[in-house]
């Protein structure tokens, strides 16, 4: 599998930083039939920020509305899939560095079976340029 990089939407929200908060959100979305491409969460100013990268934007926003979630406006993230190999992520970082685009954050993981996946963010002003440089669709 060749590496594919896709520009897609994500939504974030703040939640209490307590055990079970993320599980409750994920169960609620699953109950509404929402499939996530990725989910990440981290502490932020005494609370927790969670980011949702949905497969189907309309389905996600409907479910969030029904659940009463206070999600952010739609923002852009890059979603990566490919064959796992040494330096797979480094190659992406190098391409951005060569054109002076700084990654805000990245989460990457080996998915097993010789595959890997990642999500990463750049500043909004750099999204179009990063898309061109990386061939993101």
Domain regions of the chain by residue span: 9-72, 76-134
Tell which CATH classification among 3.40.50.300, 3.30.420.40, 3.30.70.260, 1.10.357.10 matches the domain 76-134: 3.30.70.260
The tens digit of pLDDT for each residue in 88-125 reads 999 999 999 999 999 999 999 998 999 999 999 999 99
- Which H or E run includes 60? helix 57-67
- Topology at the third CATH level for domain 9-72: Alpha-Beta Plaits (3.30.70)
As a dihedral over the C-alpha atoms of residue 54, residue 56, residue 61, residue 62, rounded to 10 degrees, the angle is: -130
The tens digit of pLDDT for each residue in 57-96 reads 999 999 999 999 999 999 999 999 999 999 999 999 999 9
Is the whole-model pTM more than 0.85? yes
User: Could you give the 3-state DSSP secondary structure of residue 96?
Assistant: helix
């Amino acid at each position: 599998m060749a590496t594919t990089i896709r520009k897609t939407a994500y939504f974030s929200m703040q939640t209490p930083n307590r055990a079970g908060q993320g599980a409750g959100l994920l169960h609620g979305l699953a109950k509404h039939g929402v499939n996530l491409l990725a989910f990440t969460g981290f502490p932020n100013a005494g609370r927790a920020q969670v980011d949702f990268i949905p497969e189907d934007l309309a389905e996600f926003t409907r479910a969030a509305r029904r659940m009463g979630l206070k999600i952010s406006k739609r923002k852009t993230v890059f979603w990566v899939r490919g064959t796992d190999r040494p330096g797979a992520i480094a190659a992406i970082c190098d391409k951005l560095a060569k054109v002076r685009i700084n990654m805000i954050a990245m989460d990457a993981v080996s998915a097993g079976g010789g595959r890997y996946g990642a999500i990463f963010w750049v500043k909004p002003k750099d999204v179009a340029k990063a898309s061109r440089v990386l061939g993101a669709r």
